Structure 1
């Protein structure tokens, strides 16, 4: 049994897509699997609600006690190159240009919400830096890591989430995460600052295909993801 705490929201009344995807991926990886993992969200993840696990050889499922599938995780594969490294000057420029400072559909979002304080949210504020890229610094707060001082899979996946969404520009059209394929090569460490980059690959109707990457300031790739975002109507989402 597991519960998604309200701290880990995306939209006001549902879980942060990257965090929940990472939670399901963590359960899949914990059963002896390795490599890129694909997580799919099938419904807005409910907050403060006891949920259950189901496992088989092909996937792990996060379920409501009524039998609805919240999300799944299983083996995945990347289809594009990871976004390029952004240097300190570039991530600083991205932070200054963050559209969410002016218009944000989910300003309480755990990953990118401007209304979240230090140690409460990740505060990754990714702005455009030219072409199809966004970038931002991410300082890993000690309040959000495990006992060993490193970020767990849900936190790392949350950090790999919204920079891709901002590459598609949440302020132009509200979106939620549908599918995320990710791999973390080295767990982020408390007290360190990482460089987050998002990249828009293409749009197909209401779907936006994006990629993200986390690097150390020296350029080491810490983790990467590919995502599919779904445009939503805020008036009817979750109803």
Structure 2
């Protein structure tokens, strides 16, 4: 496994959702939960053995474990509501990782998912599926919209753990909607849920994740 440099999150390391999705795909078809033990390195050969992702030096990068049921569905909104919400994206004002592949406003070649808050506190954003769609891409799309349910200017968080299920991949060019919700905060940990919906409103994937305050 190798995380290409374009799939970064914070500068110099892999986007958490993309990286976790890559590890999950290597683990097989059963739902898994990925715990990141350090920032996933870019352009580095990684191996998965007995549920542990390690770099060539043997350093632990992540742990992959069975997830059980992932029933973390966030209700959908229509695309127009998602478009309006994205105009209120806090990352346009201040972004801790402005070149993130998923939600970085400085990236013209990323997924450009910009989740804004809804009146009930959920986040929502439109998402146009890229030309190449993989399960890792769906995991990436399910990553940041949950984080932005707790992220705010001056309050950075990083993904620590995520479990996701991909029901179906969107087709290239599909106009989708992603929703996220903050479920609870325990000290430095925030539990969030996210869901991805296709053009007709079908649920394509869902995730639960724990984000850690920096």
Partner of 2:197 in structure 1? 215
Structure 1 residue matching 2:73: 3-state secondary structure: coil
The 2-side partners of 1:158 and 1:173 are apart by 21
The 2-side partners of 1:169 and 1:65 are apart by 33
Partner of 1:40 in structure 2? 35
The 2-side partners of 1:69 and 1:188 are apart by 32
Superposed CA RMSD: 1.4
**TM superposition shift of 1:66:** 1.6
Q: TM-score of the superposition, structure 1-length normalised?
A: 0.85
**TM superposition shift of 1:172:** 4.1
Structure 2 residue matching 1:132: 3-state secondary structure: coil
The 2-side partners of 1:158 and 1:225 are apart by 10
Rate the CA distance shift 1:48–1:79 in 2: closer, same or farther, 3 A.
closer
The 2-side partners of 1:230 and 1:83 are apart by 21
Q: 50, 55, 58: which one pairs with 1:64?
A: 55
Contact persistence 1:78–1:181 (CA under 8 A): no
Q: 92, 96, 117: which one pairs with 1:128?
A: 117
Partner of 2:98 in structure 1? 107
5+ residue gaps, structure 1, are 146-150, 233-239
**TM superposition shift of 1:132:** 2.5
Partner of 1:176 in structure 2? 158
Contact persistence 2:196–2:203 (CA under 8 A): yes
**TM superposition shift of 1:67:** 1.2
Structure 1 residue matching 2:160: 3-state secondary structure: strand
The 1-side partners of 2:101 and 2:68 are apart by 26
Deviations 1:99-136 (A, max 9, x none): 1111101010011000111xx21100000012220000
Q: TM-score of the superposition, structure 2-length normalised?
A: 0.95
Structure 2 residue matching 1:167: 3-state secondary structure: coil
Contact persistence 1:137–1:193 (CA under 8 A): yes
5+ residue gaps, structure 2, are none
